[in-house]
Structure 1
Amino acid sequence: MIGRLIKYGVMFVVLVLMQVLVLNQVQLSGYINPFIYVLFIMLLPVSTPRYLLLILGFLIGFVVDIFSNSLGIHAAATVFIAFVRPFVISSISTREEDRNEYPGLRQNKFSWFLSYTAIMVLLHHFVLFYLEYFTFSHFFLTFLRVLLSSVFSIFIIVLSQFIIFRE
């Protein structure tokens, strides 16, 4: 229990620092902004209670909001993906036996992890960018930004699974 708490605490700190110190400075043409802190919510064990998912989603989003000087949009987007996470996992897992306790790449098939990551990141980025603009006047331009940022974020998340997160 203590080992898990330390592991996820370190993951929280590392992902937030990586996001605010490195990835917030990356903006390619104003359209590509990678956000990998969502990996924290994605890699929590499947048996994590829903209330704890929502609290941790708010907490990591709030911390990123503080360092990014944004007004709660990261918190709202991460709470949203924390809320829909159980539905996403149950919808992409065909049978109960396919579900692993840890939703990482090493414990699951690559295709499962890629679809899980793509759905979660697209949902996060959709909520994040449309809350940031808070208008539908440039719907397709914002949607292009969502798609490009999502592809880049998915690439970094999958790459991190191969390099860093080897459970």
Structure 2
Amino acid sequence: MSSSRIIMLVGGGILYLFFQVLILKNLVLFGIAFCFLYMMFILLLPVHIKTIPVLLISFFMGLGVDFFYDTMGIHTACLVAVGFVRYRWLQVLVPTGGYDDDLQPSILNMGFGWFFSYSFPLILVHHSLFFYIESMGTDLFISSLQKIIASAIFVLIMSIIVQLLLYRRRRGI
């Protein structure tokens, strides 16, 4: 990976982090739908990036969010779990002919159907872990389930909007 791509990757991660903690931190719909859009940075990394670098990026991104949210590692744990599952999930969804080198798995590059089947399960993994860790295994199953579903749908819609407004069809970051 060239140095300019690494700089763009780091810059994109910082933008996602600051957007999350400065703007989206207090954005909650109906008291149950939280917008954890920062996780889309991990999902939109180029497909050729292997698991260990994704885990490191996930760790530092989650740590940054935890620092501003005062959540004591919950965001870090959930994002690292998503980073761990991401590469294997990409292998399950490999299209005929494989992936191009340096391809970014976005709606514009892969289409809505593929992007939905790629991102929504990973969003559900993140949110399930987050809200069940947050509730500490108490009897808040229905409340946690409502937050998981509402927040996952909210993040998916927001990620679609962000991609359509800010991203363009290209090969990588």
TM-score bucket of the superposed structures, by smaller chain: over 0.9
Which structure has more RCO (C-alpha within 8 Å, separation ≥ 6)? 2
Q: Which residue number in structure 1 is paired with residue 43 of structure 2? A: 42
What does 1:131-150 correspond to in 2, within 5 Å?
Answer: 131-150=133-152
Tell me the TM-score normalised to structure 2 length: 0.90
Secondary structure, in 3 states, of the residue corresponding to 2:109? coil
Tell me if the contact between 2:17 and 2:38 (Cα under 8 Å) persists in the aligned partners: yes
What does 1:51-70 correspond to in 2, within 5 Å?
Answer: 51-70=52-71
The partner residue of 1:154 within 156, 159, 162 is 156
Structure 2 spans left out of the alignment, 5+ residues: none
Tell me the TM-score normalised to structure 1 length: 0.94
Mapped partners of 2:40, 2:58: distance in 1: 11
Q: Number of matched residues?
A: 166
Q: Which residue number in structure 1 is paired with residue 26 of structure 2? A: 25
Secondary structure, in 3 states, of the residue corresponding to 2:72? coil
Mapped partners of 1:164, 1:98: distance in 2: 26
Q: CA RMSD in A?
A: 1.3
Percent of aligned positions with the same letter in both sequences? Answer: 28
Tell me if the contact between 2:58 and 2:79 (Cα under 8 Å) persists in the aligned partners: yes
Secondary structure, in 3 states, of the residue corresponding to 2:25? helix
Q: Which residue number in structure 2 is paired with residue 99 of structure 1? A: 99
What does 1:54-93 correspond to in 2, within 5 Å?
Answer: 54-93=55-94
Tell me if the contact between 2:120 and 2:156 (Cα under 8 Å) persists in the aligned partners: yes
1:27-64 Cα deviation digits (max 9, x unpaired): 22320111110111111111112111111111100000
Task: Give the superposition deviation at 1:98.
Answer: 4.5
Secondary structure, in 3 states, of the residue corresponding to 1:22? helix
